[in-house]
Amino acid sequence: MKKNILVFPCGSEIALEVYRAVNHSTHFNLIGGSSVDDHGKFVFENYIDGIPFITDPTFLEKIKQVIRDNNIDAVYPAMDAVIELLKSNEDFLGCKVISSPVETTKICLSKSETYKVLESVVKTPKIFSAKDLMHAEKSAFPVFAKPDIGYGSRGAKKIVSIEDFKTQLELFPSSIFTEFLPGKEYTVDCFSSHNGELLFAAARERSRIMNGISVNTKPVKENAEEFVEFAKKINSAIKFNGAWFYQVKRDANGKLTLLEVASRFGGSSSLFRAQGINFALMSLFDAFEIPVSILRNNYDVVMDRALDNKYQLNISYSEVFVDFDDCIYLEKQFVNDALMAYLYRCVNKGIKITLLSRHDDVKLGKLDELLDKLRIRQVFDRIIHLDPSQKKIDFIDNTDSIFIDDSFAERKAIANKFNIPVFSLDMIEAL
């Protein structure tokens, strides 16, 4: 029987990766929870809204009620502050919280606390007090500023002057100031079992960063063992359960220097999922003490991220009428895989599919023969082969339907006569 996992807040980048990584698992059923209507509402099929913000005094009581009402077996917190709060109240909630121990979450939530714990274990950056910088000479700059508690690039800035320093303190009074590290920046994605064994650690280069998220990243091949040894040292000093990561930059002498440690997987750790390392799923297995092992495919991969679109349409229909040439069959040689993916979703939902086509290309073969050759014939409930003189509008015999065609003239005529939704190829993603 599948275990019910509440992912909260389900619109964060971490939550969306949990969905991508676990949604098809036969072991877990994902339920998204949110305090606001954000992207998670468009992604999670099972969705619970109206959960208070974590700053609300009623938050713990309300989320405990959600856990009880929905038979939740575990909560997967998907934001740093949420991880610490939920893990600290795991007994009160009455279910597992997918995270490292509460002591670890507290350490990782604060950069200054992380540096204090690890300063004798790995190289940490030199820290300057605000008092010293207030009267520092120009030569003391640049330094780097970032909020002690925070994530991504929020409030992080290179400080090049006393004026910059004062502005930073006004905007982010909790900032810590460290030596400026000029070298390359890396994220090292790690996984430790519940018994403390480091099972995986691999570095990736943050080639392009947007809003603190690595949107172009690839595995580091050179000096890979250097990052593994760094991970082993951190793992020996801090207790982790499941996925975690650390970030480092090289100093002026090329030495790896710690930036931060997080008791969760990184937002772009899906790079390694493409090679077989599913951090979210392994973390769930490990939390329920189901043994996991590592199987990483040996091929090169580069991941590039961009904004994705999700749509909700207020239409319902029992049948799809769809064209063939230049719609399903592109350039007389390719199957439109995006359109076919949608048609298979219709099959799953029991929606009838009718193919309307005037295909008469002798070189390519008759329509039935070509459909067999392309291995897609069985998708269609009906195949209506029109003569060149016939119009598709005359074969629409169900107005509880939609029509898909590359021809604007065909779409306009059918929309005007039957008042049904019509779609061109660029609109398929909305379906």
Q: Where are the domains of the chain?
A: 3-99, 107-111+182-304, 126-179, 319-430
Structure tokens at 406: 């590359």
| Separation CA 191–CA 201 (nearest Å) | 7
Where does 193-323 show beta strands of DSSP type E? 198-210, 213-219, 242-250, 256-262, 303-304, 319-323
How does DSSP assign 33-82, residue by residue? E-SS-STHHHH-SSEE--PPPTTSTTHHHHHHHHHHHTT-SEEEE-SHHH
CATH of domain 319-430: 3.40.50.1000
The continuous run of DSSP H or E covering 5 comes out as strand 3-8
Topology (CATH level 3) of domain 107-111+182-304: D-amino Acid Aminotransferase; Chain A, domain 1 (3.30.470)
Structure confidence at residue 363 (pLDDT): 62
208 or 418: which leads in pLDDT:
418
Domain 3-99 has CATH 3.90.1150.10: no
Q: Do domains 3-99 and 319-430 have the same CATH topology?
A: yes
362 pLDDT above the threshold of 70: no
Mean pLDDT, range 67-74, rounded to an integer: 98
Instruction: Give yes or no for a contact between 368 and 383, defined as CB atoms under 8 angstroms apart.
Output: yes
Structure confidence at residue 174 (pLDDT): 81
Q: For residue 363, which phi and psi values (nearest 5 degrees)?
A: -65, -35
| Separation CA 181–CA 160 (nearest Å) | 13
What sign has the CA pseudo-torsion 364, 370, 376, 382?
positive
Structure confidence at residue 133 (pLDDT): 82
Structure confidence at residue 210 (pLDDT): 78
Q: Is this prediction's pTM over 0.85? A: yes
